[in-house]
Chains A and B, each alone.
Chain A
Amino acid sequence: MNKSIYTIVFGVFAAAALAATPFYSANSKVYAENNCDFRQGLKNLSMAGTDSRENYSQENVRKELDVRKEILNLATDCAIGEALEIQSNVKSAQANYPEIRDDRNRILSRLDEIISYYRIQKDAIKDLGIEGSKIFSANLRIWRDSNYVPMDELGKNFLIFAKNQDILQITQNRFNQISLTLKTLGLADNQKISDILNQARKNLRLAGENNDSVKNIFKRLAWPNDASDLMVSSLRYLKDAYQNFFDISKEAQEIISSAK
């Protein structure tokens, strides 16, 4: 009895998995294989448009409408693939801190909404006429500008931002380690070394401030934003901090060598 129940449950899951697989793979496949080539479709549309204008008939109008629907279906499939791709990248980004995980979930959830919207739109294509397809296309284009484009940008910036958190932490650890070593070696009171160490501390602080501004952008999913500029600026401060570490090492070595 139990065995047969397990068999049924397993069968249901297997069937569900099989049913779900082609749906997702079809969407990602379209985009992944770079199959979103509209050139032939547009060529067909141009010919169908000319035919229906020069020789107006039900058949020619139907032909043009079919071509339009075919292109729109491909365009929405590609748009879904595009959104799924950025969603997959955001999903796989390392989020080692709770607030970064919150940001990630916020972006993923918004991308879910976008994908759902595309799917609803795709379902509506079959009922369109020629004029309807024109309005539909224009509206979808406007919608993408104000919904997909911001999330695409935020998603891509998030990938950089998530990685930056680890770099910031590593630089902070380096600073702590070098400070401790200088104290252990009795070099922390050396004026020159102390000055460079303070400079490194300042660079770390400025990098942190820029990073906090980016955090705020992701918290609100603000767009347009200057996240890219802020992240580059933050990284440059970290780079300067590393230059300070190199300088400290050089100074320390010189002092140790002269003391021998």
Chain B
Amino acid sequence: MEPIELLKKFKHLGADSDYTRKSKIVILSQGNDKLAGFSLASREIAAGVFRSGWSIAMTAVMLLLAIGSFSILKILSPAKTSVVDIGGLRAEAQAIDAQIELTNVFYNDILGLENKTSTVSAAPPEVKSPKAATVPTQNEINASLGSAETTSTKPTIDSVLDALSR
């Protein structure tokens, strides 16, 4: 048989009418059973609510017992929470200590940078045009290059510029 003819025949395919009827009954009957299971009497509903209520109440009591001691202390002695929040105060005081340390570290870093420079200007740091610089002698170049080579620390931008200017 040609495939096209076979496909055309599929259009007329259908379930057996008796099987269809039986299936419908089975499905509908199962649905009825389930629905019957959900239809509770008002007395049963009340009992369920009562049981649930007890469960919730017991959970609440347990939660209160678990965290209650802490909360009750707070409620009973407000001075201990508001005035004597030692933990919070200590953390904030430590943050100030850390900030002082940080400022000192930055300050030392800045001092280090200033020591590396030769010129200190009292004027606000406006972008100025460079002034003509004096050219050092060849001996100074060799001295500076020699020291840059032998030094164990890495030359800075400024020390390199010094070396290049000689």
Contacts and interface: CB of A to CB of B under 8 A. Distances in A.
B83 A185 contact: yes
A114 B125 CA distance: 10
A95 to B, nearest CB: 17
B96 A167 contact: yes
B161 to A, nearest CB: 4
Using C-beta atoms within 8 Å of the partner chain, give the interface range for chain A. Answer: 35 or more
Instruction: State which size class the interface on B falls in.
Output: 35 or more
A143 B118 CA distance: 11
Contacts, number: 204
Contacts of A249: 83-86, 89
Nearest to A160: B103
A142 B117 CA distance: 9
B106 A159 contact: yes
A151 B138 CA distance: 33
A228 interface: yes
A100 interface: no
Given A137-B165, A163-B99, A253 B79 contact: yes
Contact of A142 (B82, B93, B103, B130): B130
Given A42-B155, A141-B165, A156-B106, A147 B89 contact: no
A75 B163 CA distance: 12
A160 B157 contact: no
Nearest to B134: A138
Interface of A: 36-39, 41-43, 45-46, 49, 53, 68, 71-72, 75, 78-79, 82, 110, 113-114, 117, 131, 133-135, 137-147, 149-154, 156-157, 159-160, 163-164, 167, 170-171, 174, 177-178, 181-182, 184-185, 187, 220-224, 228, 231-232, 235-236, 238-239, 242-243, 245-246, 248-249, 252-253, 256
Given A138-B165, A236-B100, A249-B83, 9 more contacts: A41-B160, A42-B163, A141-B133, A143-B130, A221-B124, A228-B110, A242-B89, A246-B89, A256-B79
Interface of B: 77-80, 82-86, 89, 92-93, 95-97, 99-100, 102-104, 106-107, 109-110, 113-114, 117-128, 130-136, 138, 141-142, 145-146, 148-149, 154-155, 157-158, 160-166
